[in-house]
Amino acid sequence: MSPFIYTLAQRLNQRLGVLLLVVVGLLLATPHDTNNSNESLDQENSPLQEGLIYARVSSSDQVKDEADGSRNVGSLDTQISEGKEIFKDHGIELSHPPIKDKAQTGTDFDRDGIQKIFRLAQRDDVGYLFVQSVDRIGRSAAETLYFIYILQSECNVTLITPGGERDIGSIHGLMHTTLLSLMGDVQNELRTTKAKKSRVRGFIERKKWNCYSPVVPVGYNQDGDGWLKLDDTELTAVESLFDKFIESKSYTETAHEINNKYEDILDGHRVKTLLQNPVYIGKPQLPEEWVNNLPYDNVLDEPGLKIIDENTFQQAQKIVEEKNQRHSTDEDTYGVSDFIEEFDLFSVIAGSPPVTLVHDCGETMVKTGKEDLKDVKVHVYWCSKCRTHRKWPKEAEYDMMELLHKIRQGDWELFDDWDTFDE
């Protein structure tokens, strides 16, 4: 078996494990009718006869094709037309104009369109959501399945595709939707792996700088083949950048002096990013995770690109690290950003709805003190309108964040904490 096929098999096995955990959680959380007695679209007791249409394309080329008047199976126009036809056939009226996400990846839910769908789904007049396929909602299987579950269980919104209802209130519907979500997840992984492998090969073998970044660092230009070459007019500016930072230990002061002395040469470049770029010591490199499971070293030895000596570069790195530690705010107390860093944005928001720190009444809450939570301190917040306090997060919210994070990471130790599902 080739290394690529073996790695793919490992990832598929991990995703099956992750989805097994999600499905078991949903089975325990949702009452099911094994006789599948849920009402169909044509029955009188079906949900409200108004719905939403959601369409997404991840490729900017698909958007351009539509602008040129061409259409393809997965285009926004095609997805919307198909949804309108299905709604017409079943007497469902559009409650809002179709919602679109153009050139948006489905790997996360940080999309204007899908977030608008969720807000509208909470209204009483929405009973259906049409998507051309489950992977239009998202290509991360666990998150997509959880999103569909929330739509149906909390918002009473039924998902519809050209193949019919995706009712996860039934065993059959839950398993079918799970498989569709898994397919989208695996397809996305295949595309991502292929694209990343192509970029790695372009950077390492063909010496194409744009395969790593479209931004050329200060001190360099690109040659005719797309690789870096020294820009003699900017070499002194780079040397001054490092010297000034080591002297002042200030990003702002360094940027101010370098821009004044060299006519705004930074032009949007962040001083910290430049200081940490190993290309300046002749060792351009890719992020280490890019070359995982690939037969490449992420570091190239390019002495011809060297501008800064190793000692100067390491001095700058030491100061950067010291500043990172010194400027971390409120080090003994966990805030929203700390929990997001420990878990991830989806797990924090899904695990604790008050993460926006707005009270139920709509009033913004303010910090008033600290309390212990497990082995860290967290803030206590005060609502001046309702005159109430609340700790964020509460222990149950913390446990939910941890659970969701483990599900997304495929953490098999979750089997040891099965009681979490019983809360």
> In this predicted structure, what is the pLDDT of residue 232?
95
User: How far, in Å, CA of 132 to CA of 121, rounded?
Assistant: 18
Distance separating alpha carbons of residues 165 and 175, to the nearest angstrom: 13
Q: Is the pLDDT of residue 296 over 80?
A: yes
The pLDDT value given to residue 245: 95
Which pLDDT belongs to residue 317? 95
Residue 362 has pLDDT above 70, yes or no: no
Mean residue pLDDT of the chain comes to 75
Residues 50 and 38: their CA atoms lie apart, in Å, by 18
Per residue in 302-358, pLDDT tens? 999 999 999 999 999 999 998 877 655 445 565 655 665 555 555 565 555 554 555
Q: Which tens digits make up the pLDDT trace of 76-111?
A: 899 999 999 999 988 999 988 999 988 767 666 778
Residue 142: HSE in the Cβ half-sphere, 13 Å Cα cutoff:
23
Of residues 193, 194, 192, 168, the one with CA closest to residue 180: 168
Residues 266-273, mean pLDDT to the nearest whole number: 83
| Cα–Cα distance, 264 to 257 (Å, whole number) | 9
Q: Where are the domains of the chain?
A: 3-30+46-192, 224-326, 333-422
Could you tell me the two tokens for 366? Answer: 């303010």
Selection from 31-45, 70-84, 166-180, 265-279 with the highest mean pLDDT: 265-279
| Residues ≥6 apart with Cβ < 8 Å to 84 | 53, 94, 98
Maximum distance among all alpha carbons in the chain?
77
CATH superfamily for domain 3-30+46-192 = Resolvase, N-terminal catalytic domain (3.40.50.1390)
Q: 10 Å Cβ neighbour count for 272?
A: 16
d(CA 243, CA 316): 9
pLDDT of 165 > 60? The answer is: yes
Q: What is the CATH number of domain 224-326?
A: 3.90.1750.20
Give pLDDT, residue 120.
Answer: 87
386 pLDDT more than 60: yes
Q: Report the Cα–Cα distance between both ends of the chain, in Å, rounded.
A: 44
Enter the tokens of residue 405: 């994070």
Query: Which percentage of the chain shows pLDDT scores above 90?
Result: 27
Three-class DSSP labels, 197-236:
HHHHHHHHCCCCHHHCCCCCCCCEEECCCCCEEECCCCHH
Tokens representing 71 are 């259409």
Tokens found for residue 310: 């190793």
Pairing of strands 158-161, 128-130: parallel
Task: Identify the pLDDT of residue 231.
Answer: 95
Highest mean pLDDT among 48-57, 60-69, 104-113: 48-57
Express each pLDDT in 115-161 by its tens digit: 888 888 887 678 899 999 888 887 676 778 778 888 888 888 888 88
Instruction: State which of 217-226, 368-377, 411-420 shows the largest mean pLDDT.
Output: 217-226
